[in-house]
Structure 1
Amino acid sequence: MRKSIKVFAPATVANVVCGYDVLGFAVNQPGDEVIMTLTEGKGITISKITGDDGKLPLNPAKNTVSASVQHYLNHIGKPDLGVEIELHKKMPIGSGLGSSSASTVAGLFAINTLMDNLLTNKELVPFAMKGEELACGYGHADNVAPALMGGFVLIRSYQPLDIISLPFPEEMHAAIVYPEVDVPTKDARQMIRSKVLLKDAVTQWGNVAGLVSGLFMKDYDLIGRSMTDILVEPTRSILIPDFYKLRSIAMKNGAVGFGISGSGPSVFALTKDAETASKITEKLKQHLKSISINSLSFVSEVNKKGPIILD
């Protein structure tokens, strides 16, 4: 049995506009890395965290990676197993790209591999949700499920948990831009209305069903016209500078659809090819620069693999 492993886990785009907490997909970049080593001691220790500007706790009870790994070890009957964790953040915290999710997934995939893959990646999802609960107060799966399983996923139900992998057009790409402004996930979730009008709910159900159908049919027109959110986006968009201007730029430059990634401030566009995605990211970055906002951009196809072993 191997004693040490290095794992990469990918960022994700959650919600996918109309699918609040039930839709998400993985991307190739950015992501996080975890180095995990089995030790002779007892319990989990975090020896190093890089790339977080000192924001993340080294206390294993408060860190999403170690907390999720502890739940896993409790489940397999090895609660006191000696584990040392190094976390290397390769993506911005609070970006809306599943930063806590990527770290947690990398850690769970690492420990499960070291334990000779006792569980499937899909069976690891509930443990990853414990990390999300620690990070933002609610254990949602629309980040962790695609990060673990790769691809495009639908969470049909949370109780009981029912996760479905969806097909999608192979050539589809995501253009992602992260404006460097602060939108904490917890705060963004608290802004959302707790009650909605039935007529608005009906509209939203139709869009979610339309988006899923469009993915199955590989119908870009149906995907595009289904990427409308009347419940969450109107509130969350307030936190993103020039959100509707950014949408207009993306759509004019060939986007299939446009929206907020997770809780923001990252935005994304789905496109039919990499060239269009690259053009859109450049146009969006130019606009943000014109209003004195720095940004990072990523262009990626849908990641089909989920976490991978680096060495």
Structure 2
Amino acid sequence: MKDSIKVFAPATVANVVCGYDVLGFAVNEPGDEVIMKLTGGSGITITKITGDEGKLPLDPKKNTVSASVQHYLNHIGKPDTGVEIELHKKMPIGSGLGSSSASTVAGLFAINTLFDNLLTNRGLVPFAMKGEELACGYGHADNVAPALMGGFVLIRSYEPLDIISLPYPEGLHAAIVYPEVDVPTKDARQMIRSKVLLKDAVTQWGNVAGLVSGLFMKDHDLIGRSMTDILIEPTRSILIPDFYHMRGMAMEAGATGFGISGSGPSVFALTRDRETAESITVQLKKHLSTLNINSLSFVSEVNQKGPVVLD
């Protein structure tokens, strides 16, 4: 059994417009890296965190990576295992791209690999959800499931947990733009209405079913028609500069659909090819610069692998 490992885990786009807390997909970049070492001592220690500007706690009880790893160790009957963790943030915190998820998934994949894969990646999802609960107050799976399993996923049920891998059209790309404005996940969740009109729920159900059907049928037009959210987006879009203008620009440039990634402020467009995705990111970044807003952009196919060992 190896005693050290370095792991990369990918960012994710959660919700995918109409699928609040039940749909998500992984992307190739950005992501986070974890270096993990088994020691002869006892307990988990976080020895280093980089790329977080001092925002993340070194206390192993308060950090999503170490907390999730501890749940895993408790589960396999080795709660006092000595573990040293280095976390290297390679993506912005609070971006809406599953930053806490990527860190947590990297840590869980690392410890599971060091223990000769006692659990499948799918089996790690409940432990990763514990990290999301610590990060934002609610253990949702629409980031951690695709980060662990790769691809496009549907969380059909939380109790009991039922996760389904979905097919998608070949060549499907995501154009992602992160405007550097602050939208904390907890605050974004608290803005959402707790009750909705039945007629709005019916519309949303139809769009979720249409999106899943479009993915199965590899029908870009159906995917695009279904990427409409009347429950969450109207509220969350208030926090994102010029959201509807950017959506109009993306759709005019050939996007299949456009929406908020997770709780924002990142936005994304699904496209039929890389060229369209790259064109959209250039246009959106240029527009944000006219508003004096710095931004980062990423273009990626859907990531099919999930976390990987780097060395």
Once the two structures are superposed, residues 130-183 of structure 1 have per-residue CA deviations (whole angstroms, 9 ceiling, x without a partner) of 000000000000000000000000000000000000000120000000000000
Aligned positions of 1:155-304 closer than 5 A: 155-304=155-304
For 1:170 and 1:55, how far apart are their aligned partners in 2?
A: 38
Helix, strand or coil: the match of 1:28?
strand
Q: Which residue of 1 aligns with 2:128?
A: 128
Amino acid at match of 1:209: A
- What SS class does the counterpart of residue 56 from structure 1 fall into? coil
Partner-residue secondary structure (3-state), 1:129: helix
Separation in 1, partners of 2:9, 2:259: 23
**SS of equivalent to 1:17:** coil
Normalising by the residue count of structure 2, what TM-score does the alignment of the two structures yield? 1.00
Aligned counterpart, 2:39: 39
Distance 2:50 2:124 in 1: 25
- Equivalent residue of 2:195, what SS? coil
In structure 2, distance between residues paired with 1:245 and 1:286: 13
Q: Tell me, what secondary structure is at the counterpart of 2:81?
A: coil
Deviation readout 1:186-205 (Å, 9 max, x if unpaired): 00000000000000000000
How far apart in 1 are the matches of 2:123 and 2:170? 26
Equivalents in 2 of 1:117, 1:172: separation in Å?
31
Tell me the SS of whatever aligns to 1:117.
coil
Task: Specify the alignment match of 1:11 in structure 2.
Answer: 11
Q: In structure 1, how many angstroms separate the alpha carbons of the residues matched to 2:97 and 2:306?
A: 14
Q: For the residues of structure 1 that align with 2:69 and 2:168, how far apart are their CA atoms? A: 31
* Structure 1 residues 29-72: Cα deviation after superposition (integer angstroms, max 9, x where no partner): 00000000000110000000000000000000000000000000
For the aligned residues, what is the CA RMSD?
0.2
Unaligned runs of 5+ in 2: none
Cα distance in structure 2, aligned partners of 1:155 and 1:172: 21
> Which residue does 2:26 correspond to in 1?
26
CA distance in 1 between counterparts of 2:170 and 2:49 reads: 36
Aligned to 1:153: 153
Q: Work out the CA distance in 1 between the residues paired with 2:273 and 2:170.
A: 10
Letter in 2 for 1:191: M
Counterpart Cα distance in 1 of 2:83 and 2:309: 17
Say which SS state the counterpart of residue 12 (structure 1) adopts.
Answer: strand
- TM value normalised by structure 1: 1.00
Matched residue SS, 2:285:
helix
Counterpart Cα distance in 1 of 2:198 and 2:245: 29
Distance (Å, rounded) in 2 between the aligned partners of 1:144 and 1:101:
5
Aligned AA (2:108):
L
> Residue 107 in 1 paired to residue 114 in 2?
no
1:59 aligns with 2:82: no
Where 1:210 maps in the other structure, the secondary structure is: helix
For residues 153 and 28 of structure 1, what CA distance do their matches in structure 2 show? 16
Cα distance in 2 for residues equivalent to 1:251 and 1:288: 17
Secondary structure of 2:60 counterpart: coil
Aligned AA for 1:143? N
Alignment length, in residue pairs?
A: 311
Query: What percentage of aligned pairs have identical amino acids?
Result: 87
The CA deviation at 1:265 is 0.0
Structure 2 match to 1:97 = 97
- Residue of structure 1 equivalent to 2:307: 307
State whether structure 2 residue 88 is matched by structure 1 residue 88.
Answer: yes
